[in-house]
Amino acid sequence: MAGASSALKRVYLAAYNWIVFVGWFQVLYFAVTTLKESGYRDVYDAVERPLLFAQTAAVLEILHGIVGLVRSPISATLPQVGSRLYVTWGILWSFPEVRSHFLVSSLVISWSITEIIRYSFFGMKEALGFAPSWLQWLRYSTFMVLYPSGISSEVGLIYTALPFMKASGKYSIRMPNTLNFTFDYFYAAIIVLITYVPGSPHMYGYMLGQRKKVLSKAKAS
């Protein structure tokens, strides 16, 4: 019974990883093709569907951690997935005015390369029980460049969207109302930006620690 449960878990995780891998591969392909053919202003329109699918699918990773399907700590998964979902839906999808910004290209390319490597790595481990050493090295090394470029793009796009948030009042709740409650999306976005200051170095340090641990173990074996 335990063996069947373990096999089912591996089949599910392998399928999940490869399906999301395909989504991110589409994002990268459409982004690069569009940059070559028409320029950065059209990148978002080209990648929107696979981007929304692939990034939203990451919500399952939080659930995987909660129910114990994977060993990734929720404390690391939640802020990373949450910030990306916020930028994907709360910024790019919600404020079309920022979609033609050149930072969209650096964002989706940084995200997609990172996730193509990550999902192929875990997809192979679940499907085959192992992954090539070169892929493991890429999984735990490319973030040193791609994480700063992705985070910088996230911060830049949130900042770019601020005037449009303020002018539109979108998602804000004004007084008076029956709940006697007020919420300003503009100021909430500023708070989000502030959280990047301590959060980004913390996540980068965590990933450096993981890199050292995993690659040292691989070298020893």
pLDDT along the chain (221 residues), means of 10: 79 97 98 97 98 97 92 88 97 98 98 98 94 96 96 98 97 88 96 96 93 86 67
- State the number of CA atoms in the 13 A half-sphere of 103 facing the CB: 20
Burial of 189 (0-12, 13-18, 19+ CB in 10 A): buried
Sequence-distant (≥ 6) Cβ neighbours of residue 91 within 8 angstroms:
98, 157, 158, 161
pLDDT for the residue 142? 96
pLDDT for the residue 2? 60
Q: What are phi and psi of 154, to 5 degrees?
A: -60, -50
Per-residue buried b or exposed e for 6-25, using 16+ beta carbons within 10 Å of the residue's own CB = eeeebeebbebbbebbebbb
pLDDT for the residue 220? 73
Q: What is the token pair recorded at 166? A: 């303020």
Per-residue buried b or exposed e for 26-42, using 16+ beta carbons within 10 Å of the residue's own CB = bbbebbbebbeeeebeb
- 84 with 112: CB under 8 angstroms? no
Total-model pTM: 0.94
Q: What is the token pair recorded at 93? A: 């999808």
- 133 with 220: CB under 8 angstroms? no
pLDDT for the residue 191? 97
pLDDT for the residue 50? 98
User: Catalytic amino acids?
Assistant: 147, 154
- 49 with 27: CB under 8 angstroms? no
